[in-house]
Structure formats: structure tokens, C-alpha cells
Amino acid sequence: MFWRGGSDPGRDVLAELPSHLTWDGLHREVQRRHGKPIHIKPAPAGLGHDVTGLWLEKAERSWIFHAAGESELLRRHVILHEYGHILLMHGGCGSFARGLLMSLGEVLSLLKAVACIFAAVAVAVRLPRVLKRRRVDFVWVGTVLAALAFAANGVMVPERTVDAWLGGENMFHLVRNLLALSAVWCLRAALVQSLKRRDWSRSRTMREAAIGSALLLGLMAAFFSIDRGPTSGAFIPDHLAQGGTLVYTLLIMAMGTWNAADVARVAFRELTLRQPGHDPLLWPALLGLGVGGSLLVLGCTLEAGYAVLGYAGTWDAVAVALRASFGPVFLPGAVLVCLAVAWLGLYAQGRRLKIGLRMDILRIAPVWAQLGADRWSPGGRPPGWRSALSADPQTVLYSAVIAVEDALRAENRTATEAFQPPVLLAALLIALPWGANPSAASLWWGISAALIVCGIPLAVVLMLVRRGILTDHHVSVKEHRRPVMAGVLVLVLSYLAAAILLQGPIEIVALLVATFLAGLVIAVVSPWWKISGHGMMMGGTIVALTTSWGVVGLLFVPVGLAVCWSRIRLQDHTGPQHLRLDRDMRRNHVGDANRERSAQILADKINLLLDTLRTEAGQPYDFTTIQQGLKDRGVAISRTKWHYLKTADIRVRPDEKLLRALGEVFGVDPRYLVQEDGPLPQQVEQELHTVRALRRAEVRNFAARALGQIDPEGLQAILDVIEKDQHEP
């Protein structure tokens, strides 16, 4: 309402003024509308140097005071400002405008004080981390400089007081700009490094430091070349007639433009690339940095243009417009950048506190309660507010996801286990011949076929599962199906030949022919497409029962559908609902673009250890040995989880405790598995490759545990000699 009330009379007054007015003509017109004489005077010496303009009114006349020693451009700008107060006074807006200006100044002082306190607290909180890392931390250095720059404000220590301590010749203006520009440079470096997700090279740091130091030295030289007066609240406008002030201003604006443009460029680049590793929560910060940095660049450009025109003394109207536009452009840009930086700080703190994992724990709580998953997590903590506040939410969430998955599997396990292909085929091999010809011979043929074709393969698969070679007796991993089906097909073909030669029951021959063809299809297609063995068995059973028993066989159709649906719910085949939940959980609680790369690196290391090292008994490490070794160290692992680790499956996220225990089981430095890269992992890998080469060369007397005393160059030399000897005739 106040703005509307103030703007309408202002537009009316401006519309009534003649279109062409000289400076003296404007003065006379304002006096006429004011109804009394207006005297323009320099401000008295005792008024204070922070007052650039003042309007006083008495019954018979008014006075406009402007700061002494200021440039003609600033003097006219101040007078025009006071003319505006006089003209708008009749609209009832003069007192509000003065109060608004005073309140804005107080708000800015308060904001400076709050920023100083915030920066000081951030410095104290981050100090232990800086001391621990023992290297330059741009964020910490920039925050220290920002705290010093904001320390002088109207709430804590007045700027005039600080300048008086420094000699009272506007030295604080230089010190504040040096601190502010250095702080902006450090924070800009930290922001760019964070957004680009890589450290600066030492050469770039030295190059930019050299350029920045040269500009700051030039800034200081330009400042000391200015013929400065006493402390002034408008230092640059008061001394703009001097060439040193122009250079001083342009250098400040150039450095501000450089830093703001770089931040905006990187922010817009990261925003438009939309890389898969970008968290959507980063987009508001990137947008704020891009738009805010662009506004800062525009504001610095406007101020530089004002300085050039003000020094030249030309185009006064344009110069006044540029100066008036600086605040409305620069301040919103600064606010946007500050808000974006604050958002990034909150985002980083949220990641540090693992807020995403804690929210996922709350999201999975209703699913847990609905499924009764507490039965599958003995001793575990059910998801909820209490577990979301635990010190290790990653472990809680992982246990909850595993328990939910086990509960989902348990709901549908009965149908899957009762009607699994070996069991159902064995039942058909016994039931169909007996139903066609109830005799001892038919029973003998059925039982023998069931034992050889179904019993032997199932026993072998169970043994391979216990050794950790297969993940489960359903052979869920499609890459494992071809060798398993090859063995099954050999047994089926052998018994089929015997049944044909010995004239066995036709039902057994037909079943074995169908089984052979189905197994052949599974063996051929499985490496590329995971065919459901349960589904094929259900379809074949329905056809066999309908052929043998007629319409009665169709009663098995609901059973077949239930079994197929159970396979979908168990996630062993297509299950949109469960797959969607799993995908969302992975995206939200992992949120890391390098997840697949990290999983592959860990899988390569584990497989290298399995291929290279042997137990104390000289045997390869199998799942049972590893599981027992981890159990002795207080860590549990399932076959499924072990398979996921070896195959770089991102559905499992191993914690550091597991990796360290695994390193102890293999007898290598645990840091080899914990660290993705570095001197230690590289040396251990080179040692392991050397051990494998020595084993290939049948060098027996070589202790793998002593390899840590040999440097990588020596290991590589040994490896080169062995490889050379192996290739020589």
C-alpha cells in the first residue's frame, strides 16, 4: 500500500513537469510546487561524513545539504533525491520513505552481524577437520576472511570506529575489499571444486593465485594514489574525480565479475548436463548460483560503467541511472548466491548425517509392518523413528530391506518349493505310468526315472549351493543355468535311451522327450533371457495331465497360475511392483553415480583374492570357509550377499566392518578392500598378480604373506621375468 501510494503521486508529479528543463529551471519548478524557497548548501563539518544528503524544512523556507567535497555528479544526484522527497511530501510518502531508508540500513547492519556470527561458528566447527586433513581448505579460509569482513557493522563494531583505528582516512574501505575479494575467491574455488567433483591442479592454483595477487597489489597501489579525505560513507562517489579512484573501482568490479562469472558458468554447465550422478536436491542450489552469479556480473558491469561515466563527467543522466540500477541488480544476486551456498551447506550436512537413509527407513516401515518382517530379522531393529535415529542407519536399512525381501519370499515360498520342476517332474514320472498301467513294473520305471533324472541333479545342485558355487537350488542366476542344464540333459538322454531300448512305459518316454526339449531351450536361451523353469514345467504339466486324464487335468490350471505368480512375487522373474520398490530404494539411499564402478572394483579385488590365495591347508577359499572366518570375527554373510559381492551387484552395499573382516580372512591388509585406490591397493594387487604368476610357473617356495616387504618395482621385475620365461620355447 505504501509503495502504491508513493508511486502514483510520483508519476503524477513527473507527468506535470515540463519535458525540457534546465538545472536552474528544475530548481525553480520544485520551489514553486513546494511553496517556499529552497537553499542548497554544503553539509556542516559537524554533521558527519556518513550523511550524503539531508532536507530540512521550516515554516518560511527549506534547506538541502549535501556532503562537502563530493563530485558534481554525486552532488546533483543527492539534490535530485531530496527534490523527490519534497515533491512526494504532498502525497504523504516522505516520512515513510525516510523511515524505510533507515530500516533498510538497520536490516543490512543486522544481516552483516548475523553473517559474521554464522561464519565464526562455521570456522570453529570446521577447525578440527582442517587440522586433521593438514592441507589447505578453501572453505575454511574463505569463511575466516568473510567473518573478518563482516565483523565491522552497525550492530557489533561500527565501520567508522574501525576506520578511526586505522587512521581515519578510509583505510577500512581497502581492508574490507581485500578481505571480501579474498574470501570470495576462496569460496569460489571451493564451490567450483565441489560442483566439478575434482580437485584443482596445483598449477591452476598457483596460476590463479598469481593473477589474484597481482590484481590485489594493483588495487592497493590505486587506493594509495587517491587523495583521501576523512572517513566517508560514500568513499568512491566522493573521490570519483580522481583517476586512482577509477582504477580502484574498476579493479574491484573486474575481480567480482571474474569470480561471479566462473561460479555462474560452472553452475549452468552442471545444471544443463543433467548427469546421472546429480541429486535433484542440488538443482535449486545450481540454479541459485547460476542466476545469482549472472546478476552479480551484471551489477558489477553497471557499477563499472557508472565509474567510467562519473570520472569522465559525461552523460550524467546515464551515470545516475547506472548507479541507481546497481543496488536492485547486485543485491538480489548476492542474496541468491548466499541462499544457494547455504542450501549446499545444508545439503552436505544432510549427507553427512545420512538423512536420505533415515528417510528411507521411515518409508519402509509400513511395508515392514504389513509383512510382519520382524520374524525374519531376529535381534534386528524394526524400521521406525527410533531406528531412523540410530548411529548406523545404513546397517539398519540394509537389514530391513533384506528382512522385507525374505518376508516377501516367505509369502510365496510354499508354492514355489512344493511345485519346483524336479519335484513335479518326479511326481509325473511316477503317477502317469502307474495311472495308465498299475503294475510293479510301471512303479519301478517311475521311481528309477525320478531318482536318476530328478534326484541326482537336485542333489548335485544342493551340493554346489553349499559350496557357494551356485546361489540357490533354483539356479536363479541365468549365467549358471547352461552348465547345470547340460548335466541334466546328459542324464535325461541316457535314461531316455535306456527306456527306448528296454521298451519302458510310453508315458515315461514322452515325458523324457518333452523334458529334453525344454531343457535344451533353457540351456540355449538362458544366457540372454531368463526363462522361468517353473512356468515351463507348469505348462508342460497341464498339457500332460489333460492328455492323460482329459478335462480333469484342467483343474491344475489354477495351481499353475499360482506358482507362476509366486515366482513373480519372489522377484525371480518379472515383478514390477517389487522391482520398482527396489529401484527406488537404491536410487534414494545410494544416490551415488559411482556405485556401479565401486561395486565392480570391489568384485575384481575379491575375485583376484579367490583366484590367487589359498588357505593354510593349501585349498582354495570356498564360501563355507569364508562364512566361518567371518562368523569367528562377529560378521554374518549369506550366500546371496556373497554372490552379489563377487558379481558386482549394486543391490548389496557392504559396510566397512564386513570388508575389514574379509581382508583378515584372506590374510591381506583390510585397507585393500576398504580403499578403492591408492598406494596400498596398487601394491597389494601387484603382489597378488605376482603370486598368481609364480603359481603358474610352479614356483613352490614363495611365501605370499611376506610379499609386503617387497616394493612394487621389484614385484613387477619378478613378474616380467616369469612371463618372459613362460613365453620362451
Q: Which amino acid is at 71?
A: S
Residues 6 or more apart whose Cβ sits within 8 Å of residue 77:
237, 320, 323
pLDDT in tens, 101-147: 444 556 667 777 777 787 788 778 778 877 777 666 777 777 788 77
Long-range contacts, stretch 623-630, CB < 8 angstroms, 24+ apart: 623/466, 623/467, 623/468, 623/469, 624/466, 624/467, 624/468, 625/665, 626/468, 626/662, 626/665, 629/661, 629/664, 629/665, 630/658, 630/661, 630/662, 630/665
Query: In this model, does residue 695 exceed pLDDT 60?
Result: no
pLDDT in tens, 374-385: 554 544 556 666
Whole-number Å distance between alpha carbons of 116 and 151: 6
Higher pLDDT: 314 or 585? It is: 314
Query: In this model, does residue 48 exceed pLDDT 80?
Result: no
Please give the C-alpha separations between residue 159 and each of 109, 163, 326, 494, in angstroms, as whole numbers.
10, 6, 22, 98
Write out the three cell numbers for 696: 603358474
Kindly report which listed range (268-277, 303-312, 578-587, 692-701) carries the lowest average pLDDT score. 578-587
* Residues above pLDDT 70, as percent of the chain: 66
CB atoms near residue 234 (< 10 Å): 17
C-alpha dihedral (432, 436, 441, 444), degrees to nearest 10: 10
pLDDT in tens, 317-361: 777 777 777 777 877 887 787 778 778 777 777 777 777 778 877
**Domains of the chain, residue spans:** 2-98, 158-352, 355-409, 419-572, 594-654, 677-729
Whole-number Å distance between alpha carbons of 482 and 459: 17
Instruction: Name the band, by pLDDT with cuts 50, 70 and 90, for residue 436.
Output: confident
What is the DSSP-derived secondary structure letter of residue 70? -
168: left (phi over 0), alpha (psi -120 to 50) or beta: left
Q: Closest Cα partner for 66 from 300, 232, 181, 207?
A: 232
pLDDT in tens, 455-500: 888 888 888 877 777 766 767 666 677 788 888 888 888 888 888 8
Instruction: Name the band, by pLDDT with cuts 50, 70 and 90, for residue 700.
Output: very low
Query: In this model, does residue 675 exceed pLDDT 70?
Result: no
Kindly report which listed range (3-12, 72-81, 508-517) carries the lowest average pLDDT score. 3-12
Q: What is the pLDDT of residue 382?
A: 62
Phi, psi of 392 (to 5 degrees): -130, 75
Higher pLDDT: 195 or 584? It is: 195
CB atoms near residue 631 (< 10 Å): 12
What is the DSSP-derived secondary structure letter of residue 65? E
Cβ atoms of residues 223 and 248 within 8 Å = yes
Secondary structure (3-state) at 282:
helix
CB atoms near residue 503 (< 10 Å): 8
Phi, psi of 200 (to 5 degrees): -75, 150
Arithmetic mean of pLDDT, 405-430: 73
Q: Helix, strand, coil proportions of the chain in percent (round to 5)? A: 75, 5, 25
Kindly report which listed range (131-135, 327-331, 701-705, 722-726) carries the lowest average pLDDT score. 701-705
Whole-number Å distance between alpha carbons of 302 and 320: 11
CB hemisphere CA count around 547 (13 angstroms): 12
Whole-number Å distance between alpha carbons of 572 and 477: 9
Instruction: Name the band, by pLDDT with cuts 50, 70 and 90, for residue 590.
Output: very low
Write out the three cell numbers for 125: 566447527
Query: In this model, does residue 426 exceed pLDDT 80?
Result: yes
Instruction: Name the band, by pLDDT with cuts 50, 70 and 90, for residue 585.
Output: very low
Residues 6 or more apart whose Cβ sits within 8 Å of residue 642:
468, 623, 626, 627
Q: What is the pLDDT of residue 82?
A: 75
pLDDT in tens, 28-42: 777 777 777 887 877
* Residues above pLDDT 90, as percent of the chain: 0
Arithmetic mean of pLDDT, 557-573: 68
Looking at the DSSP bridge assignments, the partners of residue 65 are 41, 54
Please give the C-alpha separations between residue 184 and each of 127, 144, 190, 249, 329, in angstroms, as whole numbers.
19, 11, 10, 17, 18
Question: Which of 222-226, 473-477, 679-683 is predicted most confidently?
Answer: 222-226
Q: What is the pLDDT of residue 606?
A: 83
Write out the three cell numbers for 411: 509369502
Looking at the DSSP bridge assignments, the partners of residue 63 are 39, 56
Phi, psi of 53 (to 5 degrees): -155, 150
Q: What is the pLDDT of residue 408?
A: 64
CB atoms near residue 274 (< 10 Å): 9
Instruction: Name the band, by pLDDT with cuts 50, 70 and 90, for residue 727.
Output: very low
pLDDT in tens, 519-559: 788 777 766 666 777 677 777 788 888 887 777 777 778 87
Question: Which of 68-72, 397-401, 468-472, 619-623 is predicted most confidently?
Answer: 619-623
Largest CA distance in the chain: 135
pLDDT in tens, 144-198: 887 787 777 777 777 777 777 877 777 888 888 888 888 888 777 777 766 655 5
Query: In this model, does residue 697 exceed pLDDT 50?
Result: no
* Helix (H), strand (E) at residue 53: strand 53-57
Residue with cell 509503495: 3
Arithmetic mean of pLDDT, 61-87: 71
Q: Which amino acid is at 281?
A: L
Buried b (16+ CB within 10 A) or exposed e, 118-139: bbbebbeeeeeeeeeeeeebbb
Q: What is the pLDDT of residue 616?
A: 63
Instruction: Name the band, by pLDDT with cuts 50, 70 and 90, for residue 51.
Output: low
Q: Which amino acid is at 58?
A: K
